[in-house]
Amino acid sequence: MTVAVVLFTSDLRVHDHPPLHAALAAADEVVPLFVRDPGVHAAGFDVPNRSAFLVGCLTDLDASLRRRGGRLVVRKGPVVQEVCAVAAECAATQVHIAAGVTGYAHRREEQLRDALRGQGVALHVHDSVITAVAPGAVTPVGNDHFAVFTPYFRRWSQERLRDVCPAPRTVRVPDAVRGEPLPSREELSGRSPGLPAGGEAPGRDRFSRWARSGLAEYEDRHDDLAGDATSRLSPYLHFGALSPVELVQRARERGGPGAEAFVRQLCWRDFHHQVLAARPDASSRDYRTRHDRWRTEDEAAEDIAAWRDGRTGYPVVDAAMRQLRHEGWMHNRARLLAASFLVKTLYVDWRIGARHFLDLLVDGDIVNNQLNWQWVAGTGTDTRPHRVLNPVVQGKRFDAAGGYVRRWVPELRDVADARIHEPWRLPERERAQVEYPRPLIDLGEGLARFRHARGRD
Ligand code: FAD
């Protein structure tokens, strides 16, 4: 009787799961394992929104495995120690895991390989589980990664993706291995009230519905803030409840400009992964320094607090920050605006904003969050690093009738469309009736400070 262990990490699904597929092909029995490592922030158990979603994913994965005759084994402790213990308990000869891209994932892989070798157990690491195209699979001449998106997209689009693996019919788990129960979602306090349900089943259901109703119009509508016309699949992708390879294939099968635009966004995800895989320090350091002397937490405490609470006096920024708090999610255009306002208009260190996003985002991840923040800050891969987004201009363009602002900033509900993005310009009598802060900063002053700091005045 041969036994294999599959360590689930950011790949919490049974469909299109190469490690599970390979383990089932190679062994008579398989232990599907998830380890809650208390030392790992990225595991998400200390961030209420992500822990609630993660519990949903694990519960759903366990239910899927049970329908196939198996179960999910959950253990708590240092991950390497637990994997080795489980492998010893069931006399496993191999362990399967998805390749990760962060510095932490690489260290985990190395430590696992060493520790398992000592027990005579082989470690199999599988590519293209967490991303559609593995980091490093396509590279430009003379560099180990692409630093600009468009040429990466061109090459990425030509790559032949691996075939989608079918979900297994049966999974036999050895009786001897024991796990511990999960906390229920209700036991996890402090989460945002408008959080979606985690899990592969809700994720697949969302994609199928959205592919029928939203995909075709995605290209035209994705930036419409009030229309809320994007897929909202990011948390499912973050936890691997959905496979990026499968999403790309299914979108391509549907075809059309909407599907092409959606696939392009999925490529952004892979793009950032290949940058971080090559430059792990970009999670906390400037990818390209502009020699900024950002304002720190102490120097800008009041401005930062107003930004976090959605009290900047710029309606579209405040709407974005309030959506984040309520839903643990924010529209991409809103993320761009809110981030640009903090780093460029208020000239605050991008790491402070990235930290706040990571504390609340249900899809918050080191790769996409840190590199998108750097993109906005102009220290990352943006080819126009000094541009500043004006929240009034952007608000008028992407929320022309003010529906997004009215949804999240109810104080402004009765303000006419023409003034919804600049309520300070209301006639004094009307202004006095609206309980909403005056602008925290003059946009011209913010712009001048930023340009001066970047030596562009
Ligand atoms: P859709 O528009 O439906 O796009 C489909 C998928 O493509 C997304 O689910 C996502 O996986 C991927 N995608 C789309 N845009 C991007 C992008 N710019 N970079 C990388 N992948 C992308 N995304 C995260 O998943 N986690 C984060 O922590 C995160 N932090 C961000 C912080 C800032 C400052 C900014 C500007 C963007 C951030 N993004 C992050 C990227 C993007 O905003 C979200 O992926 C997107 O809003 C999720 O909504 P959706 O699923 O409806 O996206």
Query: Could you report the per-residue pLDDT of 312-366, keeping only the tens digit for each?
Result: 999 999 999 999 999 999 999 999 999 999 999 999 999 999 999 999 999 999 9
Pocket test for ligand 1, best of 348, 363, 373 (most atoms within 8 A of CB): 363
How would residue 166 be classed by pLDDT, with cut points 50, 70 and 90? very high
* Three-class secondary structure of residue 425 per DSSP: helix
In the reported structure, the alpha carbon of residue 332 is separated from the centroid of ligand 1 by a whole-number distance in angstroms of 6
Question: How far apart, in whole angstroms, are the C-alpha atoms of residue 290 and residue 236?
Answer: 34
Report which of residues 40 and 109 the model is more confident about. 109
Question: How far apart, in whole angstroms, are the C-alpha atoms of residue 338 and residue 315?
Answer: 11
Task: Tell me if 316 sits within 8 A of 334, measured CB to CB.
Answer: yes
pLDDT digit string, tens, across residues 374-424? 999 999 999 999 999 999 999 999 999 999 999 999 999 999 999 999 999
* Three-class secondary structure of residue 4 per DSSP: strand
Is the model's pLDDT at 42 over the cut of 80? no
Question: How far apart, in whole angstroms, are the C-alpha atoms of residue 337 and residue 315?
Answer: 11
Pocket test for ligand 1, best of 130, 267, 368 (most atoms within 8 A of CB): 368
* Three-class secondary structure of residue 37 per DSSP: coil
Residues having CB within 6 Å of any atom of ligand 1: 222, 230-234, 237-238, 262, 265-266, 268-269, 272, 332, 335-336, 339, 357, 361, 363-365, 368-369, 372-373, 376
Shortest-distance atom of ligand 1 to CA 266? 7
Nearest to 302 by CA among 348, 370, 360, 361: 348
Please give the full DSSP string across 237-277, using - where no structure is assigned: HHTTSS-HHHHHHHHHHH-SHHHHHHHHHHHHHHHHHHHHH
Residue nearest to atom 6 of ligand 1 (CA): 266
Helix runs in 90-148, H state only: 103-118
- Let me know the angle formed at the C-alpha of 431 by 430 and 435, rounded to the nearest 5 degrees: 115
Is the model's pLDDT at 215 over the cut of 90? yes
Residue nearest to atom 22 of ligand 1 (CA): 269
Residue nearest to atom 47 of ligand 1 (CA): 332
Q: What is the dihedral of CA 234, 212, 224, 350, to 10 degrees?
A: 10
Task: Tell me if 274 sits within 8 A of 146, measured CB to CB.
Answer: yes
Is the model's pLDDT at 163 over the cut of 90? yes
* Distances in whole angstroms, Cα of residue 48 to Cα of each of 247, 306, 351, 396: 27, 22, 20, 34
364 Cβ contact list (under 8 Å, min separation 6)? 47, 49, 50, 238, 357, 358
| Model confidence, pTM | 0.97
Is the model's pLDDT at 43 over the cut of 70? no
Is the model's pLDDT at 21 over the cut of 70? yes
Residue-level length of the chain = 457
* Three-class secondary structure of residue 146 per DSSP: coil
At residue 182, the pLDDT reads: 82
Is the model's pLDDT at 125 over the cut of 90? yes
In the reported structure, the alpha carbon of residue 250 is separated from the centroid of ligand 1 by a whole-number distance in angstroms of 19
At residue 46, the pLDDT reads: 73
| pLDDT mean over 182-206 | 87
133 Cβ contact list (under 8 Å, min separation 6)? 156, 159, 161, 270, 274
Task: Tell me if 87 sits within 8 A of 261, measured CB to CB.
Answer: no
How would residue 188 be classed by pLDDT, with cut points 50, 70 and 90? confident
In the reported structure, the alpha carbon of residue 264 is separated from the centroid of ligand 1 by a whole-number distance in angstroms of 12
In the reported structure, the alpha carbon of residue 357 is separated from the centroid of ligand 1 by a whole-number distance in angstroms of 12
Percent of the chain with pLDDT over 70: 99
Is the model's pLDDT at 37 over the cut of 90? no
In the reported structure, the alpha carbon of residue 294 is separated from the centroid of ligand 1 by a whole-number distance in angstroms of 25
Nearest to 266 by CA among 282, 287, 252: 252
pLDDT digit string, tens, across residues 258-283? 999 999 999 999 999 999 999 999 99
Residue nearest to atom 45 of ligand 1 (CA): 234
How would residue 45 be classed by pLDDT, with cut points 50, 70 and 90? low
Residue nearest to atom 30 of ligand 1 (CA): 369
Is the model's pLDDT at 191 over the cut of 90? no
Percent of the chain with pLDDT over 90: 92
CA 247 to chain centre: 16
Give me the amino acid identity at 5. Answer: V
Give me the amino acid identity at 74. Answer: V
Question: How far apart, in whole angstroms, are the C-alpha atoms of residue 408 and residue 315?
Answer: 9
Longest CA pairwise span in the chain (Å): 82
Instruction: Order across the sheet with 73-76: list the strands.
Output: 73-76, 29-36, 3-8, 94-98, 122-126
Pocket test for ligand 1, best of 153, 265, 336 (most atoms within 8 A of CB): 265
